Amino acid sequence: MRASLIQIRVDDDESVDSRRQRAASLVRDQAGADLVVLPELWTTGAFAYEEFAREAEQLDGPTYRAMAKAAGDAGVWLHAGSIPERDPDGTLYNTSLLFSPSGELAAAYRKIHRFGFDKGEAVLMGAGTEPVTVSLPETTLGVATCYDLRFPELFRALVDAGAETLVIPAGWPERRRSHWTLLARARAVENQAFVLACGTAGTHAGVPQAGHSIVVDPWGEVLAEAGAEEEVLTVEFDPSKVAAVREQFPALKDRVLGLERPRH
């Protein structure tokens, strides 16, 4: 299976419209890949909080339409990263869109863990409530977004729902790059799954981005890692390795569920 992670540059000096056109063109360039991935909130930038309301789109807005067409033109499964979505009731969500090779919407995932503590995304956006998996012919994807990476219980829920390849678009900052690569490897090892984690390049809202998109196999080996600048990280991987690792080292079978809280 061939995957291309588009680590697009998100800078304040490029318009959303220009970046949308560039992203669509980069997706089209990946014809021949099985799966293409874009990062989190690449239209606005994940830290450009004041842009969220201004650029929020209904689910079937301009980014949806551009990405549906690009997926169909390239004939690829497309995880189009996330957009600031405006629900008809007015609530904003950080919503990922996944398209089939015919350009149909296969799934939408509203980010469950919002970043910022009492500021930014955490107060500007609503929280999703539903983990999402998507079945491709070669593998089942489990999707999560950026800050979700810090919450292993979400990934266990995805694995319990059949996920074998964990796809994580992000807008991760350079300041915490060591956490990004460490957590990507940890989620791969503990879930015995592939991890495809796609970040952004550039600097927006004064926050330099880490880049360093990364693909990790179910044994925790790094198959490919990007640098800090805009690039397309392409990797070939064998999804059957998930079943092989889970059979040879069946740690997932030793889970003890429903542990009680310690008594003090």
Ligand X SMILES: NC(=O)CCC(=O)C(=O)O
Which residue ranges make up the site for ligand X (CB under 6 A)? Answer: 40, 46, 115, 146-147, 150, 171-173, 176, 179
C-alpha to C-alpha distance for 93 and 40, rounded to whole angstroms: 12
Residue 113 or 246 with smaller CB distance to ligand X = 113
Residue 146 or 196 with smaller CB distance to ligand X = 146
Residue 255 beta carbon to ligand X: minimum distance, rounded to whole angstroms: 25
**One-letter identity of residue 125:** M
Residue 160 beta carbon to ligand X: minimum distance, rounded to whole angstroms: 23
111 is an active site residue: yes
Residue 123 beta carbon to ligand X: minimum distance, rounded to whole angstroms: 14
Residue 12 or 238 with smaller CB distance to ligand X = 12
67-70: long-range contacts (C-beta < 8 A, 24 or more apart)?
Answer: 67/23, 67/24, 67/27, 67/38, 67/97, 67/99, 68/99, 68/103, 68/104, 68/105, 69/24, 69/103, 70/23, 70/24, 70/25, 70/27, 70/28
Residue 160 or 190 with smaller CB distance to ligand X = 190
Residue 110 beta carbon to ligand X: minimum distance, rounded to whole angstroms: 13
Only one residue has tokens 């680590």, namely: 7
Residue 2 or 150 with smaller CB distance to ligand X = 150
Alpha helix segments (H runs only) across the chain: 16-28, 49-55, 62-74, 121-124, 152-160, 177-191, 240-248
119 is an active site residue: no
Q: Which residues contact 110 (CB under 8 A, 6 or more apart)?
A: 85, 93, 94, 95, 96, 126, 127, 128, 129, 130
85 is an active site residue: no
Residue 157 beta carbon to ligand X: minimum distance, rounded to whole angstroms: 18
Angle formed at CA 38 by CA 102 and CA 96, multiple of 5 degrees: 75
Candidates 51, 55, 85, 111; catalytic one: 111
Catalytic residues: 40, 111, 146
